[in-house]
Amino acid sequence: MINDEIDNLNHIKAVCVYCASSTQLAGCYTAAAEALGRLLGERHLRVINGAGNSGLMRAVSDATLKAGGTVTGVIPHFMIEQNWCHDALTELIEVENMHERKQRMAALSDAVIALPGGCGTLEELLEVITWKQLGLYANPVVILNVNGYFDPLLAMLQQAIDEKFMRAQHAALWRVAKTAEEAVQLIYTEPKWDMDLSKLALV
């Protein structure tokens, strides 16, 4: 039975983490970011992020590296010019623009975990959910709902389903975790998206 459960786990090597770069956040958000980075690092996973040197992005990177993991940062050239780049990552990939950044981060990952963040984080999260709905990304997408931060977004998504802007099946495009431990567990156990369901993208 145990061997069957192991065989059914996703083979995760790299996790894309979306999160805030703000430094003005409540301590619970930083603690969650550090916990997530530590858990990913302890599993010797590669974190894929936006290479930022502040906020939750830095907290995840530093905790991952300290715990024995690796971090690949993907960042547009203009952000490097603004000195927004973490200078101690395992690997740095410089790209031309934000669109290429998001595509590269998703392409490198076996799963996505979204911590709380502002417009950029919300845009990344909704875009990867859209790609999954269209059959362009099959891997687990987990929303780490620290302190109920994502409750309004989750309510909006449920309203979209209730009012037939999305199908009921689309609620399975993402999973929600309350803790870093739960988020990491979900990336291993959440089944890959059935790409044939992209035919249901139209309601």
The domain segmentation of the chain, as residue ranges, is: 2-190
Model confidence pTM above 0.85:
yes
Strand ranges in the chain using DSSP code E only, listed in sequence order:
14-18, 46-49, 70-76, 91-95, 111-114, 141-144, 175-177
pLDDT band with cut points at 50, 70 and 90 for residue 51:
very high
Instruction: Reply yes or no on whether the pLDDT at 70 is more than 90.
Output: yes
The pLDDT of residue 1: 32
**Mean model confidence pLDDT for the chain:** 93
The pLDDT of residue 192: 83
Residue 153 is given by DSSP the state: H
Q: What is the mean pLDDT of residues 101-129?
A: 98
Instruction: Reply yes or no on whether the pLDDT at 7 is more than 60.
Output: no
CATH 3.30.70.1450 given to domain 2-190:
no
More confident residue, 34 or 197: 34
How far apart are the C-alpha atoms of 190 and 187, rounded to whole Å?
Answer: 6
